[in-house]
């Protein structure tokens, strides 16, 4: 391998990530040992969690403790999360969902065990419903109170609902492109 100061880019998928433990592992497409993904590296990208199976491009470094991610370059939701639309979105034109703008928001609360939570779009007082399946389809596993997000919001049967969620930094990049 390379010396401890050099880095290289690797593509792979998240084997697992536990925000409580503060780390997880990535499996490189090229094979080799599991790559440590520390929570600080994920936070530097602007996220506090990542879904198992999410596709990542990372910058890694060989250390005396093994290969570790030092920077996340991109995250794509797990491919297996695509499928039937959520029941809440069945009666809504898919074009309406796709064309909703990314809006800046902050997590009010999210309970992974219950499978939902709420956020507020900056400058608006009403709550926006966050469903755990929308998180998974967006490549996230959990959210923390106060976490900054960018999300697409529609008016659904239960009121305002997020249809897509991304880390604030990723949302800013998407809007700029």
Predicted confidence (pLDDT) at residue 2 exceeds the cutoff of 50: no
State CA 83 to chain mean position distance. Answer: 18
Maximum mean pLDDT: which of 16-20, 91-95, 165-169: 16-20
Contacts of 124 (CB under 8 A, 6+ apart): none
Which of the four pLDDT bands, split at 50, 70 and 90, describes residue 84? Answer: very low
Predicted confidence (pLDDT) at residue 41 exceeds the cutoff of 80: yes
Same domain, 126 and 166: yes
Domain for residue 1, yes or no? no
Same domain, 40 and 107: no
**CATH assignment of the domain containing 106:** 2.40.50.140
DSSP string, 106-166: EEEEEETTTTEEEEEETT--SEEEEEHHHHHHTT-S---TT-EEEEEEEEETTEEEEEEEE
Same domain, 95 and 161: yes
Predicted confidence (pLDDT) at residue 133 exceeds the cutoff of 50: yes
Same domain, 46 and 130: no
Same domain, 117 and 68: no
Same domain, 15 and 45: yes
- Report the distance separating Cα 18 and Cα 138, nearest Å: 17
Q: What is the pTM of this model?
A: 0.65
Same domain, 98 and 49: no
**What DSSP state is assigned to residue 70?**
E
Predicted confidence (pLDDT) at residue 1 exceeds the cutoff of 50: no
**pLDDT at site 80:** 54
Q: Domain span at residue 155?
A: 83-176
Same domain, 171 and 91: yes
Domain final residue pick, 18, 48, 76? 76
Domain final residue pick, 47, 76, 105? 76
Average pLDDT score, the chain = 85
Q: Average pLDDT in the 126-137 region? A: 89
- Report the distance separating Cα 102 and Cα 152, nearest Å: 5
Domain for residue 2, yes or no? no
Domain for residue 88, yes or no? yes
Contact predicate 147/125, CB 8 Å: no
Which of the four pLDDT bands, split at 50, 70 and 90, describes residue 173? Answer: low
Contact predicate 48/23, CB 8 Å: no
**pLDDT at site 88:** 66
Residues in the chain, total: 177
Same domain, 18 and 91: no
**How do residues 4-15 score in pLDDT, each as one tens digit?**
579 999 999 999
């Amino acid at each position: 391998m390379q010396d401890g100061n050099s880095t290289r880019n690797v593509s792979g998928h998240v084997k697992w990530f536990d925000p409580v433990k503060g780390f997880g592992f990535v499996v490189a497409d090229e094979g080799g040992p599991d790559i440590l993904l520390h929570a600080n590296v994920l936070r530097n990208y602007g996220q506090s969690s990542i879904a198992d199976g999410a596709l990542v491009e990372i910058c890694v470094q060989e250390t005396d403790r093994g290969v570790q991610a030092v920077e996340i370059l991109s995250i794509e939701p797990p491919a297996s999360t695509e499928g039937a639309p959520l029941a809440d979105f069945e009666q809504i034109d898919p074009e309406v969902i796709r064309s909703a703008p990314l809006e800046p928001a902050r997590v009010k609360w999210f309970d992974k065990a219950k499978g939902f939570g709420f956020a507020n779009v900056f400058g608006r007082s009403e709550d926006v419903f966050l469903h755990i399946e929308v998180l998974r389809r967006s490549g996230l596993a959990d959210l923390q109170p106060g976490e900054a997000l960018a999300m697409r919001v529609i008016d659904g049967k239960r009121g305002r609902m997020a249809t897509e969620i991304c880390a604030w930094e990723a949302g800013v990049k998407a809007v700029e492109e």
